[in-house]
């Protein structure tokens, strides 16, 4: 199942791509109002792209921190981790055998 953050980033990427396509399609259009709308859209697009980069960077930092914490826990509690992994394996084996 896709996480909310992943879906949010994908939606923002789709929005940015569609905005870029719209800007490209209206590039030949003239008129003061169209130019104002294009400028606002370009500014908004730059902001969204910056936010996407920030969110991805934050998610990567969180994932690395979680991995380090897990790694430290497993090393400090090796036997407990082995026991827990064994129990999970046994439970999965029982669940599969019952099917």
- CA angle at 29 for the pair 11 and 33, rounded to the nearest 5°: 80
> What is the average pLDDT value for the chain, to the nearest integer?
82
The burial of 20, by beta-carbon neighbours within 10 Å (0-12 exposed, 13-18 middle, 19 or more buried), is given as middle
Q: How far apart are CA 99 and CA 89, in angstroms?
A: 16
- List, for residues 81-98, the tens digit of each pLDDT value: 889 899 999 999 999 998
Report yes or no on whether pTM surpasses 0.85. Answer: no
Mean pLDDT of 71-80: 87
Q: How confident is the model at residue 56 (pLDDT cuts 50, 70, 90)?
A: confident
29: left (phi over 0), alpha (psi -120 to 50) or beta: beta
């Amino acid at each position: 199942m896709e996480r909310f953050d992943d879906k949010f980033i994908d939606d923002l990427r789709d929005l940015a791509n569609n905005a870029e396509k719209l800007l490209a399609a209206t590039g030949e259009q003239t008129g003061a109002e169209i130019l104002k709308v294009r400028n606002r859209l370009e500014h908004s697009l730059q902001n969204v792209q910056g936010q996407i980069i920030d969110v991805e960077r934050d998610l990567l930092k969180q994932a690395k921190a979680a991995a380090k914490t897990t790694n430290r826990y497993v090393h400090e509690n090796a036997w407990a981790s082995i026991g827990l992994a064994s129990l999970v394996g046994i439970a999965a084996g029982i669940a599969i055998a019952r099917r």
